[in-house]
Amino acid sequence: MSALKEFTTLLFGVHAHQPVGNFPEVIEEAHRRCYLPFLQTLHRFPEFRFSAHFSGWLLDILYQRFPEDMALLTEMVERGQTELFGGGDCEPVLAAIPARDRIGQLDCLSKKLERQFGQRPRGAWLTERVWEATVVPALADSGINYVAVDDYHFLCTGRQMTELDGFFTTEEDGRTLDLFPISETLRYRLPFSPAADAIAGLEKLAAEGRDAAVYFDDIEKFGIWPETYEWVYEKGWLEQFISGVIGSPSIRTSTYADYHAAHKTRGIVYLPTTSYSEMNEWTLPAKAADIYSALLAREHQAGTLELHRPFLRGGIWRNFFSRYPESNWMHKRMLALSNRLSKTAGLDDSVALYDMLYRAQANDAYWHGLFGGLYLPHLRRAVYSNLLRLEAALDLISPRPGSETIDLDHDGHEEVFLLGEGIQAVVKEDGLAAIHEFDSHELLHNFGDTLRRYPEHYYRKLDALNKTSPEKGSAEGISSAHDRVAFKHEILPEDMLADDAPRAIFVDRSIGDEGNRTLVDGYVVKEDLTYLATGDGWQLTKRLSLTGREISASYRFTGEPPGRFECQINLNMPSCDSFSGRFILADGSIPCGFGQTLRQEDLTEITLDDRELKGSVILRSNRPLTLHASPHKTVSQSEAGFEKIMQASCLTLSWSPGADEEWLICLEICADEA
């Protein structure tokens, strides 16, 4: 703690970002309810100095669609009121991408800020405050002098809260970087407590001799989170807060840049691999998160939580790759293409190719906590769209073989990559003999991009929700999204049942006499793409193939086949349950959309027509079978409440197999004619 002084310096920072691939109407609402009113309010108070970070992808959209927002920001930068922070251009978790791409992403946004605002950043926003020491060299080599992380990071080193009113220095591989500790207390107080209380809290810090109060958090808390637009703007919280800060003799405002230039480091510090405390819980599997949450509750009840919390770490951000195979697969696909791009010679337009890669590295679709992230199909689709666009471009430069086998995701099972006429299928040899990725490079879509149902720690809240009404705040403030619990959709117990297998293509089950289903997960490789499974008195040969624009699976039983057999096909159709996705029968009739259930007997052909995709998938069978189609939905939480999200159209095909009969099921991808 510094020597006693008469005022504390408020370092006020906001972070603005929208996920790559987010819906235009969502960005429109963010502009209307948050970005524009926030900037308009701050613009009226030039003496209130602050720092801001806008991700590069969002900046591009704001310049194109909302130039009035950018005009206000530009003027505030020019008059010295606002400092702009850099960071990864498309908001990657820097620790999760290769070092060469860290530098590339950082430099991309720094150049953009210098070009558009005449200011090259000295500070950088660290996505989700995910800290690993390995990011230091890339930040330093990119001209970044300082970043902001949570005070929790420092507490985990044994530092005391009273020490965290300045910045510290760390080093890695001969490079140094300064670190500002963001106050968790301020993160929860602003803007949710009354403005007068927030100002009183800052004045108390001044009375205690604290040199700086460090705040840096999502700008979306100022208008987009539930209840905040009315609270922040219509009821005047933001203007009251700014006026109170300006009028207080105990508080001054500064940009991080000016404070950093005028002060010296508090000394050396080495932070552990961690993120903010909420994230450390979200990364844990459900059972572990239950234990961790109960431990925190006991500490809170005993009155020792604040004392012991630095030593109760939870998990790390990379746990999401081990928790969710779908996230891990996307990540390893991204790493492989990054490596391939870095080694490819003769690039005519490397800027465009790296733009595809950087967009695929955007963090949002790789994890899940309070926000949808991984659970949102349109965000995963954006990742795959950019990966497939990049892959197709690299294939033109350096064609791949028609078949390649590798354990890409390091799960102990090899994957077979098959290439056809603009399509690609990936078979995982894990006992299911199923297809886990099914791509159209023409449509830039992965039809196998689905998400299975997982047990989630936050499901425990649902029982409480059935007994109490959602929190509405009070006259003394409003609830943070971290505390607010609500329903967006009705959630039933069966909606939360975990899946027994991945939501892949050609997942098989035998059906017993009493209707009980048994997953066929013991396929062994007989020869290339031919697999053998055994059951009670029968053997099943399954053969997968890719020809042209079509993948197929053939089934042939020997011995005494089960009475019934079924094959489940899960297809990610971008229209989901909207009006633009529909089933079309062989006679041209349209029975329903993807969001409804459909049962058809004696079916040999059906088309899944998707107007948003501008393409379709045709399913054909060589023999009549029974189709049961239904939407596959998962339950997740968001800042607005619990919701059900459609992940795939689940097609369950069933039939009564005969010995030595071949059943052939084919899927053909068709793109609309231009």
DSSP-derived secondary structure letter, 133: G
123: left (phi over 0), alpha (psi -120 to 50) or beta: beta
Q: Please state, in angstroms and rounded to a whole number, the distance separating the CA atoms of residues 297 and 286.
A: 16
Residue from 164, 95, 165, 169 nearest 126 by CA: 95
Q: Please state, in angstroms and rounded to a whole number, the distance separating the CA atoms of residues 475 and 244.
A: 19
- Is residue 348 part of the annotated active site? The answer reads no
Q: Which residue has the tokens 């309010």?
A: 41
How crowded is residue 421: how many other Cβ atoms within 10 Å of its Cβ?
Answer: 12
First to last CA, the chain: 67
DSSP per residue over 355-418, as a string? HHHHHHT-GGGG--SSS-GGG-HHHHHHHHHHHHHHHHHHHHHSPPPSEEEE-TT-SSS-EEEE
Two tokens, residue 99: 């070092």
Q: Please state, in angstroms and rounded to a whole number, the distance separating the CA atoms of residues 359 and 352.
A: 11
Two tokens, residue 141: 């080599």
- Among candidate residues 114, 171, 218, 577, the one labeled active-site is 218
- Is residue 128 part of the annotated active site? The answer reads yes
**What is the identity of the amino acid at 497?**
L
Residue from 198, 123, 184 nearest 152 by CA: 184
Q: Within its chain, how far is the Cα of 506 from the centroid?
A: 27
Q: Please state, in angstroms and rounded to a whole number, the distance separating the CA atoms of residues 257 and 51.
A: 8
How crowded is residue 589: how many other Cβ atoms within 10 Å of its Cβ?
Answer: 8
Two tokens, residue 287: 């059972």
- Among candidate residues 128, 278, 299, 411, the one labeled active-site is 128
Residues in the chain: 674
DSSP per residue over 593-658, as a string? BTTS-EEEEEEEEEEEEETTTTEEEEEEEEEEEEEEEEEEEEEEEETTEEEEEEEEEEEEEEE---
Q: How far is CA 101 from CA 95, 106, 367, 501, in A?
A: 10, 8, 20, 34
Which residues are known catalytic residues? 128, 218
